[in-house]
């Protein structure tokens, strides 16, 4: 099989296509004939060696994708999945999806509804499930307004659409005027551009006027501090990304005197907190919305042989649609 291999973390130029033997599934494993895999911010973090699990190079990247289960090892789940179209994630210790075949655990493959095409299925885990998780977190704590940074991203657009359907207001934070316009076209009521000179004042005014006490932060760095300074007392910032590639900034006084807090969100550790029935219902809900609120626009497709070019394309423009690596299946 053909596979994209990263020879050295932090060096995109070390990506190359090699021929490898097709792996064989062991107990509770499945072999997926890969159709497509998107490039996400988490993939960029993995390439840099900054993700939640750091697999030693050389390694095949690609955290999520889709395909068809063509072989299964022993175990009921694997046999159930055999022949099914699935969305899947790479295992913590194995190679990723930027290859013609993926070997992963049966529990890391999720059957797709017939109405969901494989390309959409390739993008049905990281962003859609995170957006649904944010809405669930907001509802559980009774929030009527939330703040979200990097709001023009695929995840941010999903969150805005979900929030509109559930009567929750999103204070969307973007970096450029064209991103603000994109969200306004989706019907977003509050969009703030962090490049404006009076952004801090605008953010604080919006947070207090709408009583926002929960913010989801994909940027980190100075943005975390700006959010904490703008939110009312007894508020929380949940950091789910590090696009700034800088440590989150905070003041101790915000914790001590204002009752504010910062925590983190990682879908990989959030999902397992659900029991089997809750996880099943959560996935079914995502599938029903995959062609509407959770649909992702695709702006470019590249074959595996052009993985390096695809990554550079995505780095240069991370909004406006996803970049997919495809195998031709």
Under DSSP, is residue 167 helix (H, G, I), strand (E, B) or coil? Answer: coil
Q: Which CATH class is domain 126-269?
A: alpha beta
Report the Cα–Cα distance between both ends of the chain, in Å, rounded: 13
Would you state the pLDDT for residue 320? Answer: 84
Nearest Cα to 115, choosing from 303, 321, 295?
295
Which pTM was predicted? 0.94
Would you state the pLDDT for residue 127? Answer: 97
> Distance between alpha carbon 42 and the CA centroid of its chain, in Å?
7
> Distance between alpha carbon 287 and the CA centroid of its chain, in Å?
16
Nearest Cα to 22, choosing from 13, 30, 31, 14?
31
Q: How many residues does the chain have?
A: 329
Q: Would you say domain 2-123+296-326 falls under CATH 3.30.300.280?
A: no
- pLDDT of 91-136, one tens digit each? 888 999 999 999 999 999 999 999 999 999 999 999 999 999 999 9
Residues of the chain with CATH 3.40.50.720: 126-269
Would you state the pLDDT for residue 230? Answer: 98
Beta bridge partners of 214: 236
Residues of the chain with CATH 3.90.180.10: 2-123+296-326
* Residue ranges in the chain modelled with pLDDT below 50: none
Tell me the C-alpha distance between 206 and 216, whole Å: 15
User: Between the CA atoms of 208, 202, 222 and 235, what dihedral angle is there, to the nearest 10 degrees?
Assistant: 10
**291 contacts 114 by C-beta, under 8 angstroms:** no
Would you state the pLDDT for residue 40? Answer: 95
Would you state the pLDDT for residue 319? Answer: 85
């Amino acid at each position: 099989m053909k596979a994209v291999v990263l020879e050295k973390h932090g060096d995109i130029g070390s990506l190359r296509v090699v021929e490898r033997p097709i792996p064989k599934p062991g107990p509770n494993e499945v072999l997926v004939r890969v159709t497509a895999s998107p490039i996400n911010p988490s993939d960029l973090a993995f390439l840099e060696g900054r993700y939640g699990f750091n697999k030693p190079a050389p390694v095949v990247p690609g955290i999520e994708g889709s395909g068809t289960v063509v072989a299964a090892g022993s175990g009921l789940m694997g046999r159930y999945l055999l022949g099914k179209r699935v969305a899947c994630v790479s295992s913590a210790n194995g190679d990723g999806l930027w290859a013609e075949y993926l070997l992963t655990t049966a529990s890391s493959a999720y059957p797709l509804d017939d109405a969901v095409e494989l390309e959409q299925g390739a993008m049905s885990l990281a962003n859609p499930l995170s957006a649904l998780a944010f809405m669930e977190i907001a509802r559980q704590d009774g929030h009527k307004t939330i703040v979200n940074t990097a709001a023009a991203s695929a995840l941010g657009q999903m969150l805005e659409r979900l929030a509109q359907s559930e009567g929750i207001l999103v204070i969307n934070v973007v970096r450029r005027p064209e991103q603000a316009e994109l969200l306004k076209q989706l019907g977003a009521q509050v969009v703030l551009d962090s490049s404006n000179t009076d952004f801090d004042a605008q953010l604080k005014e919006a947070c207090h006027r709408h009583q926002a006490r929960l913010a989801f932060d994909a940027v980190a760095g100075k943005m975390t501090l700006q959010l904490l300074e703008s939110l009312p007392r007894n508020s929380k910032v949940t950091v789910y990304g590090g696009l700034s590639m800088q440590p989150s900034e905070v003041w101790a006084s915000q914790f001590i005197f204002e009752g504010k807090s910062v925590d983190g969100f990682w879908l990989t550790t959030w999902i397992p907190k659900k029991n089997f029935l809750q996880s099943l219902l959560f996935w079914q809900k995502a599938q029903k919305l995959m062609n509407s609120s959770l649909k992702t626009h695709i702006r470019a497709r590249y074959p595996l042989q052009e993985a390096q070019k695809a990554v550079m394309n995505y780095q240069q423009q991370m909004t406006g649609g996803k970049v997919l690596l495809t195998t031709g299946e």
